[in-house]
Amino acid sequence: MNVPDINSIIPLIAAGFYALLLIVALVRHSHHAKAMRWFLVLLVASLAWEFSIFFAPHVLYPNLPLKVLLANTAVLTMTTAVYLDWQLRQRWVILGAAAILSVIIIDLLAANILIPEIATLNLPSITYGNLISYLTWFGISGLLLIRSWRTYQQTHFPWHANRLLYWSISLCVFFIGEILLFITIPALIIVGQILRYVGLVSMSYAIFSFRIFDVRTRSRRAFAFLLINTISALPFVGALLLSLRISEALTSPIPISIFLAIIATLVIFFYQPFRTAVEKLTYHYIIGESFNTSQVVRNYSQAISRTLDVQQLSLLIIGTLSELLETNRGALMLFTKLEDGRYEINPIPGMGKISRTIIKLPEKSLFVETLTAQRQPMLQYDIDYNPEFSSFRDETKQWLREHAMEAFVPICAGDEITALIAIGPKNSSVPYQPSELELTQILADQTVVALQNARLFSELGDQNEHIRDLNRDLVDQNERLEIMDRVKSDFITIASHELRTPLTQVKGYTDILAAMNEENALTREQTREIVGHVNRATVQLESLITAMLDASQLDVDGMQLTFVKTRLDTVLKLSVEPLIQAMRERRITLTLNGIEDLPQILADFKRLVQSFTNIIGNAVKYTPDHGDITINAQLIPSQIEEEEFLEIVFMDSGIGIDPKFT
C-alpha cells in the first residue's frame, strides 16, 4: 500500500473513533451541561474535519481541511472557556469567527498564489491562503494555551489548580497531535491522530467527572517508581558486567563458577538493603516524608488534654496540622445551635489572617447535614464542583470561599456537629492526599472531649466576667445613688434657703405694713414702696418654684420643647442681662469670645436662655470679687460624618466643681 492510500484511509479510521466517542458522550451524563454541549459540537466538528480530509481531493474549494480545522479550534476555545468558567466568553467566539472569516476571504482572493521565497527553497509549495491559515491556527492555539496556563498559575486552591493543570495538559497533547498532522509523513500522521484523539478522550474524562485524579502526585509517583527500579537494577548490571570481564580473563571453569556464585550471593545479600535505602531517599526527596499515625495521635491527645482555652486549642490544633501538612492557614470554627434551631458558626483563628465574620445557617442546612452524616473531611473543590452540593446556599458558598480554606474537617459529638477544623492549602500547592485527610479526621475525633471542656471553661469564664461586670455596675449604681442622695439633700438645703429669703421679705414687709397701719402712720408713698418690695419677693419666689418644677420635669422627661431658629449671641446677651448689675457691683469681668461667628441653630429659645442664665448666675455666685468669667464658643467638625458641632465653654475663677459631680 502506497503513501496516498494510507493517507486516505487514516481519516476514515479516525472518524470511526470520533463517532464512537460521540456516542459515549451522548449516553454519559455530565455535571457540566454547558461544557458538555460545546464538547459535543467539538466532536461533530472533528468528524467533519476528518471527512473534509478524506474528500479534499474531490472538493473545488481551496484548503477546505484547514478551514474546518480552524472551526475545530474555535469550538475548542469556547469549550475551554465554558469549562474553566472564564469571564467574557463571547470574546472568544467573536475572535474565532473573525479569524475564520478573514482566512476564507484571503483564500478566495489569493487561493492559488504561491509564496516565491518558499518555492525557491525546494520545499513543498505553500500558498498565501495556507500560510494565513497556519498562522491563524497557531495564534488561536497559542492564546488558548497561554490563557489556560495563566489561569492555572493564578489559582490558589490545589484541587482547583489540578483541574486546570489536567485540562492544560490535555490541550497540549491535542495541539501536538494537530502539529504532527501538518507533516506529510504517514508515521507522524498516525501518531498525530492518536495524540489528538487521546487529548479529546482526556477532555471528555474531565467533563464527565467532577473529581480528576491528582496529576502532580501521580507524576511524582511514576517518576519515583522508574527511578527506584532503574537505580535498583544497577547492582545486577554491574555484577553482570563484572562477571563477563572475569570470565574472559579466567580459563578454568571451576574458579569461574565459584566466583560467579560469590558475586550472586553478594548481590542477593545486599540488594534488599540497597533497594530499601533507595526507596527511602526517593520518597523523602520526591514524594515527601510519611508520618507515624499512632505517634502523632498520642502526642496530639496529650497536648490537647492540657488545654482549657478555646483560642489556645485552636492554635494548638492548627499548629499541629501545620507541622504535619505544611500549611500556614487554619481556624477552628465553633458551631452553636440557637433556640430557633439555626446554627451559628464562629471562626476562631489559629494561623494566618482569618475573617471573624459569624454566619447563621438554617436548621436544615445541606452543609451541616452532609458533614454530620458523612463525618469525613469536605473539600472546597467538592463544594464548588460536586453536583450533589449544587443546592448549597450562595451565602454559605461565598462565606466559605472568603476564608480560602482547602478542607473542612467535622468534629462531632454524638449526632450533633460541634465544630469544624478548617485548614488552608499546602505551601507546596499539592492537594491533600487521602491518608492526610484521614489523619486530620482522626485528630478531629480526638478533639471532641477537649473541645467540650474548653467551651465549658470558656462559658464559665464568660459567666464570671458577666458577674464581675454586674458587680461593677452595682458598685457604680450605688455610688451614683449616694451622689444623688447628697445632691438631693444639697438641693433641698439650697432650695429651703432660697425660698426662705423671699418668704422672709414678704413676712417682714407685711408685718411692717400691719404695724404702721395700726398706728395710722402709712402714707401713700410708703404703701407703694412696701408693696413693691413684696411684689419683687413674690416674683423671686415664683421664679424659684418654676425652676423647681422644671427640674422635676427633667427628671421624668416631661418638659415640652419648642424648636425654632435661634442665634446664640442673642441668647447669651439675654442670659447675661439680668446679671449685669450684680457683676458691676462685685467688679467681675465678663469676656465673650467667638459669639458673633456662630450660625443659627434649632433650639428652644426660652429654655436655652433659662439654662445659660442659671449657668452664668452660678458662675457669678461662686466667683470672688474682681474675678473673671469667660465664655468661649466655636465650631467643631465631626470625625465620623460631614457635620459640625457647637462648643460653648463657661470658665470662671471661682472654686470650681467637685470632680465627682462632673
List pLDDT tens digits, range 230-245: 888 888 787 777 777 7
pLDDT value at residue 199: 93
450-485 pLDDT, tens per residue? 888 888 887 787 788 888 888 888 888 888 777 767
- Structure confidence at residue 423 as a pLDDT band (50, 70, 90): very high
Q: Over 90: is that where the pLDDT of 584 sits?
A: no
pLDDT value at residue 60: 66
| Average pLDDT score over the chain | 81
Residue 432 is classified by DSSP as P
Question: Identity (one letter) of the amino acid at 565?
Answer: K
Q: Which residues pair with 422 in a beta bridge?
A: 331, 408
283-302 pLDDT, tens per residue? 777 776 667 788 888 888 88
- Structure confidence at residue 120 as a pLDDT band (50, 70, 90): very low
Helix (H) or strand (E) holding 307: none
Q: Over 80: is that where the pLDDT of 643 sits?
A: no
Q: Over 50: is that where the pLDDT of 556 sits?
A: no
Where does residue 637 rank: exposed (0-12), middle (13-18), buried (19+ CB within 10 A)?
Answer: exposed
Percent of the chain with pLDDT over 70: 84
CA angle 183, 186, 191 (to 5 degrees): 80
CB atoms within 10 A of CB 324: 16
Where does 332-433 have alpha helices with state H?
366-374, 380-385, 394-402
User: For residues 26 and 44, is the Cβ–Cβ distance under 8 A?
Assistant: no
- Structure confidence at residue 119 as a pLDDT band (50, 70, 90): very low
CA 8/CA 15 separation, integer angstroms: 12
- Structure confidence at residue 307 as a pLDDT band (50, 70, 90): confident
Name 203's Cβ contacts closer than 8 Å, sequence gap at least 6: 39, 79, 167, 170, 174
Number of H helices, E strands in the chain: 21, 11
Instruction: Indicate the length of the chain as a whole number.
Output: 662
Least confident of 144-148, 500-504, 564-568: 500-504
pLDDT value at residue 167: 93
Q: What is the 3-state secondary structure (H, E, C) of 241-268?
A: HHHHHHHHHCCCHHHHHHHHHHHHHHHH
CA 403/CA 393 separation, integer angstroms: 16
pLDDT value at residue 488: 65
pLDDT value at residue 121: 42
Q: Over 50: is that where the pLDDT of 621 sits?
A: yes
- Structure confidence at residue 603 as a pLDDT band (50, 70, 90): confident
pLDDT value at residue 122: 44
pLDDT value at residue 164: 92
Helix (H, G, I), strand (E, B) or coil at 80: helix
How confident is the model over 253-266, as a mean pLDDT?
70
- Structure confidence at residue 200 as a pLDDT band (50, 70, 90): very high
Which of the pair, 95 or 414, is modelled with greater confidence?
A: 414
pLDDT value at residue 89: 65
Name 452's Cβ contacts closer than 8 Å, sequence gap at least 6: 413, 418
User: Across 252-354, where does the E strand assignment appear?
Assistant: 330-337, 343-351
Where does residue 195 rank: exposed (0-12), middle (13-18), buried (19+ CB within 10 A)?
Answer: buried
Record the cell numbers describing residue 515, joined without a space.
404695724
Record the cell numbers describing residue 476, joined without a space.
457604680
Name 84's Cβ contacts closer than 8 Å, sequence gap at least 6: 148, 151, 164, 167
164-183 pLDDT, tens per residue? 999 999 999 999 998 988 88
Q: Which of 43, 45, 51 is nearest to 71 (CA)?
A: 45
Sequential DSSP letters for 86-124: -S-THHHHHHHHHHHHHHHHHHHHSSS-B-HHHHTTTPP
Q: Over 70: is that where the pLDDT of 125 sits?
A: no
Max mean pLDDT range (111-120, 404-413, 545-554): 404-413
CA 440/CA 438 separation, integer angstroms: 5
